[in-house]
Every structure is written in C-alpha cells, then in structure tokens.
Structure 1
C-alpha cells in the first residue's frame, strides 16, 4: 500500500483574455491554486481550484497550514475517507467557499493520481457515459458587450457548431429584452440562448423579468436570485415556464438536494471547484439524475468536459477558456462538441515551465 509523503502547493494568478462583466461584478483576475500530491511509490497527482480575484491566498494558507499536513502518511486510494476527514477537520469553516475550494484542489489531485495509476482517463474512471458533450459559449455574452457584438458572437458560435450562447442580463429589463430579441432573430429557432442574472435580482423583479424573457424560448434563466434564497427560487420556478438553473454558488450536495426536492430549479450547474472536488460533484450529478434533471456545470471546461462525459445527464459544457496559459494543449473541440481526453488522469496537459514562471511570490509551499 502506498502512502502520501509530500504535498506541494502554489498559486498562479491569470488575467482573463477578455473583459468579463455581469450584473454584480467584474471578473478581473483568476487566482488558481495548484496542488501536487506525491506518494512514496512515485505516483503523482495534480489538482487545482480557482477564485475570481479574492481569497486565493486564504485557500493556499488553509491547504498548507491545515489540510496538507493531514494527508501525510495516508493511503491516496482512500479518496472518500480523505475527503470526509478533511471536511470534518475544518468543520468550523464549512460549509463555505474557501473550504470547498481548498478541498477541491486536493480532491482533484487524488483523482488525477487514481486515474494515472489505472492508466485510464477521468471520464471512463468516473463512469464513461458519453464520448462528447455539446458546447455553448459565454465569452461573447458579457454584460458590457453591445447588441451588435452579441449577435456577431452568437452567429460565430453557431457557424462553429456550438449549440448555444449565454447572454448576461442585468441592464434595465426592456434593454435586456431588445438584446435578446436581436440575438434570437439572428440565430433562428434551432440555436439555444441562455441568460444569466448572476444573483442580481429580487424575487419580484425576477418574476417580472422571467415573463418578459419567456417569448424567446430560452434554454434557462441562470442564477436569477441569491443562491441562499431557496424560497424565492421556489416562487419563481412556479411562476414561469422558463427552466431555472442554479449551482455555481452552492457548496454542499445537501443544498442541491433541497433545491431538487422543493422543485426550485430544473437545471443543475454544479461547479467542481466550488462543491469541493470530483467526489462531491459526482454525488450531486447522480442525485440530479434521480430527479431527471440535467447537469450543465459552471466554468472549468477543461475539467468539466471529462465529468460531463462520465455521467448520462451531462447536457452542456460551458466554453470559457481558462487554462490556455498554463497548458501545452487545450480542450479538444470537434463539430462544436467538447471531447474528453483519452490520456490517463484529469486530461489536462500542464505546462510546468509556464506554471513556474507565473507562480505568485510567496505561495510555493512544500509539506512533508
């Protein structure tokens, strides 16, 4: 039986290639904590997480001070045992974003090691349900982008074979309606349009907006309300024909269970980093399947492509390039669909020279 004998932690801060704005914030920085776990038999696994500009150093500190020391001497194959132990070791700070993001960096590294040991790609090791998954793009739909550019980007995505485009909402309602009308007229009825409110509305406003958006036959209305407002989502879901999508700001499988049981949503967007890693992500995905609900995860396309291909209810991968500056090769796209890597591991071809050059000062830690 192998044992973990070393953990390395660092962080890279990536500047997005395009301006990213939504109803409540601007995405100006992508802090990316990276964890490498080494076993005494030579096996290595690499995992990662992310923030959108705040909290990255807290994640690095939580891992290096409190979580990584708990890994030394443990059997890396006992992934469920390790996840549960670390969760309860930091129980005073869970459930919450910083703890979940720290757990995710470790958990994804352990899954990477498991897949490398078995010489299998993640999408097969975790289930093997699909060979490819449809793509939709968000990169051309940010809130600051004017209508003509929204239309142009959606047409480009359609021509490339993508199945849909997501448009950020949060301007005055009638302005949002005009923007959606222009895109729908340009792309026709055989191309999906998603909208994302980024938790910016009150319940009454979301109900009003949903009724204005219904004529455009949207794939979903995403994060209309603050994620903690379960009751508001129940009211909204009952008041509109639009599918309501939630998940990127939910941090534990039990909270997804509440949404599903209470019929507060009809699309699950569980984020592998914000839920705490692959281990809880799979629990949420299989839970959603029992409710006949699709999974269309938030962000992290380089990892979510394999997870969506692992499950039968993985419907969409969201196209937002994240790791191009840290990898040798990007995610494979064929005819507008995301194709999971056949390489053993997570399927991410890390460029360690680039990572070393871009490591934030003072974040490199080694725990033995």
Structure 2
C-alpha cells in the first residue's frame, strides 16, 4: 500500500451532443469535476462525476475545503474506510446530491488507482461476472423529437444490434405518448425492447393511467414515473402495473434503495455511480438488488458503468449516451450491439489532458498536498 500525497482537481463544462429534453427539464450543460490522486510511489488514479448544468461549483468547493484535505495521507487501498470517514465528515449535508457527487469523485479515483496498481481492469476487480453487456439507446428518444424521427432512430438501433431504445414520455395527453409508442412498436416489431422514462413527471393517478397504456404496447419498463422520494406511491403503482417500474437515478444512498426493494416498489434498479457516491456504494446496491432477484441497469455514465454492469451477475443492460467524447481518447467498444468492458487496468477511460486543460472552467482548478 501507499499513502495519497497529492490531489489535483478541476472541472470542465461539456455541451451535450444533442438537444436533450424530458418531462421536467432540458439539459443545457454537463459540469464534470475531474480528480487525479497520486500516491507516495507515484501511481495515479483519476476519478470524476457530473451534474446536468447546476451545482458543479458546490461540488468543487466541498472537495477542496472538506474532502480532499482528509484524503491526503490516507492509505490508498483503504477505500471503504476512506469513503465512510468522508461521509461522516459531511454528515450535516448527507444524504444528498452534492455530497454524493463529491464522494464519487474521490471514490472513483481510488478505484482507478487500485486497479492500476494491480494491473487489472475495473470489471474484473469489482467482480468479473462477464466481459460484455447488451446496450440500449436513449439519444434518439428525447421528448421533443417527432414521431417519424423516433421510428427512424429505433430502426437504426435495431439494425446496429442494440437490444432496445428508450423513449421519453410525458406529453400533455396520454394519446400523444400512445401514438408515438405505437408507431415505434409497429416499426421495430415485438423482438426489440422499448423502454419509457417519465422523469418523475406524473402524479399517481396519471401513472396508473399511463401504465395501462404502456402495457398495451409491450413496454419493457416505466422509468421514474413519480417523485423519487415517494416510495409508497411507487409501491402502489408496482402492485397495479403490468409494466416493470424502474428507479434509481434520483436516489443517493444504499438505504434509499433498500426501502424500495423491501417494499417491492421497483423491479429494475438504475443506480448511478456518481449520484450514489461512487463505485463502493454502487456495488453494495447492485448486490442488494441481486439478493432481491432484481436487475441492475444503471443511469448514464456509460464509460464507467460498462465495467460495473459487467462486474455483477445481475447487470442487465447499459444505457448508451456518449458523455465524455470531447475530453477522452477512448470510445465505448461496441460489437454487434454489445459493449465490451475495457481490458486496460483501471476504469478504462483514456483522458485527453490537453482537451481537459483547454476546457477547464476558470477558477475550478486546485492542487492539495505535496508539491501543491
């Protein structure tokens, strides 16, 4: 083992590749904090997280002022202990998005460092269940996209071998969503998954109405139908819906997932490594879901999640949304609609440090520790 001696932190603000709209918001930017941790033997691990346009400076401030000073001098391999100590150091602000996103930056860097020192890829170090996973696409299903374009994109994804496509729902009238889904289903046939995402946009009575309609079109899951903090309403919907309910991107602790699983309020877990606080708690949630015989299909972060879905036996599918192309030299390895987990030691993300330097937000770069 070796102590952490230096931390280098910055944030880039990435413009989404396409217009992204859903039932409650539009993505305008993607703030991406990036951290490099160096140990006493010179090994380096890189971690990151993200926001969808707000809160990035708060994440940077929490890292600089509170978390990173507590990481310097710690043994890099003591990942569980570091995560737990940092959580309790921020006890007054946990559980919540800002704290979890900041914890994830540190935790992913520590896992990258662990894997690099061991000479092993993340998917193997975290469990090694399988080398590749099926992929579904979201980029062609945003709420503003017209029906003809939805159909064309779904057909293109099917031709490319993807397992399915996800379509945003929450148009003003149920009939509008129904017509869009019917057109896509008629085009792709029954042997192609169509998933839907309401982004917490419904009340319970609406979700019950939409669930009946979704079942008529053979929809694979009903994602975030209701506000994420209403576990009871999700449990009621799950009891009455013929379509599986999927949740997770707006949950920020393993205990929150536990409440959903114990109450049988969801059938698909979409735990996000950034929003849960890193790889360490992500794996706990995945194994908790496994104990309940429930699949894991994480939200976003495909460049990191490909390795985690491959690591666990109940990892089902990977969401395809390119996130880091502007600041990386590597791309997702897609073969016949399946994504292969990176074989290189570490997270398997090749960072383009020149591009990162050019896009670093003014005032967001800080160094802590030896040589700072």
Structure 2 length-normalised TM: 0.98
Please state whether the residue corresponding to 2:222 is helix, strand or coil. Answer: strand
Provide the residue aligned with 1:316 in structure 2: 317
Alignment match, 1:227: 228
C-alpha distance in structure 1 between counterparts of 2:212 and 2:2, whole Å: 58
1:43-83 Cα shifts (integer Å, max 9, x gaps): 11000000000000100010000000001111010000000
Q: Structure 1 residue 131: deviation in Å?
A: 1.1
1:131-146 aligned at under 5 Å gives the runs 131-146=131-146
Number of residue pairs the alignment of both structures matches: 368
Shift in Å at residue 213 of structure 1? Answer: 1.3
1:344 aligns with 2:341: no
2:24 maps to 1:21: no
Task: Name the SS of the counterpart of 1:274 in structure 2.
Answer: helix
SS at match of 1:273: helix
Q: Does 2:283 correspond to 1:282? A: yes
Structure 1 stretches lacking a partner, 5+ long: none
CA distance in 1, matches of 2:229, 2:104: 21
- In structure 1, distance between residues paired with 2:324 and 2:212: 37
Deviation at residue 133 of structure 1 after TM alignment = 0.4
- Distance in 1, matches of 2:335 and 2:60, equals 36
Gaps of 5+ in 2: none
CA distance in 1 between partners of 2:61 and 2:4 (Å) = 20
In the superposition, the TM-score normalised over structure 1's length comes to: 0.99
How far the C-alpha of 1:270 sits from its partner, in A, is 0.1
Give the deviation of 1:5 after TM superposition.
Answer: 0.8
Cα deviation, residue 217, structure 1: 1.0
What CA distance in whole angstroms lies between the structure 2 residues aligned with 1:367 and 1:360? 18
Aligned 1:203-352 pairs, distance under 5 A: 203-352=204-353
Alpha-carbon offset, residue 40 of structure 1 = 1.1
* Residue 184 of structure 1 pairs with residue 185 of structure 2: yes
Query: d(CA) in 1 for partners of 2:279 and 2:350?
Result: 18
List aligned pairs for 1:119-198, cutoff 5 A: 119-171=119-171, 172-198=173-199
CA RMSD between the two structures: 0.5
SS at match of 1:51: coil
Counterparts of 2:124 and 2:60 in 1: how far apart (Å)? 30
CA drift of 1:88 comes to 0.2
Aligned mates of 2:135, 2:244 — CA distance in 1: 18
Distance in 2 of aligned mates of 1:27 and 1:235: 30
Distance 1:235 1:174 in 2: 24
Q: Secondary structure of the equivalent of 1:33?
A: strand
